[in-house]
Amino acid sequence: MNGPTHQFAGAVAAFAIAQHDSKNKTTPLHHPAVAIPIGAYLGKLPDMIEPSLGNPHHRQFFHSLTVLGLLGVGMHKVYRWDPQDNVKQLLRGLLLLGGAAYLSHLALDALTSRSLPILGKIR
């Protein structure tokens, strides 16, 4: 997948999580005008961490099924977290938006012929 595709998917994922997270829509991060650009930017986060640099086989640890699973578990814990102060509520919202965007990237990459490695290497 290319960068714009990952950005679009990240934006959609962040918008969806912001709308679905209705019980905690108390932060500015839940507004579509904020959630969508954050998701678009963070939809490319795996490629920022592990840039391809012209190598189509760049998928390593941060593009792996292991990270996909760990991130899914982490997202579940963050979703269930109910912070009481404003700073922690903002952190929760940012983690949800970023996690959704990152998951969208890995999901799209998993659908390609290269798919995702189970573990990958840590450089």
In-domain check, residue 119: no
In-domain check, residue 48: yes
In-domain check, residue 53: yes
C-alpha–C-alpha distance, residues 7 and 28, integer Å: 21
Q: In the chain, how many domains are there?
A: 1
Cα 17–22–27 angle (5° rounding)? 80
List, for residues 59-98, the tens digit of each pLDDT value: 888 999 999 999 999 999 999 999 999 999 999 999 999 9
In-domain check, residue 73: yes
In-domain check, residue 47: yes
| pLDDT score recorded for residue 18 | 93
C-alpha–C-alpha distance, residues 65 and 110, integer Å: 8
Do residues 13 and 101 touch, judged by C-beta distance below 8 A?
yes
List, for residues 22-50, the tens digit of each pLDDT value: 666 678 999 999 999 999 999 999 999 98
Task: Give pTM, 2 decimals.
Answer: 0.90
| pLDDT score recorded for residue 59 | 82
- Which domain does 93 fall in, by range? 3-110
In-domain check, residue 116: no
In-domain check, residue 117: no
In-domain check, residue 120: no
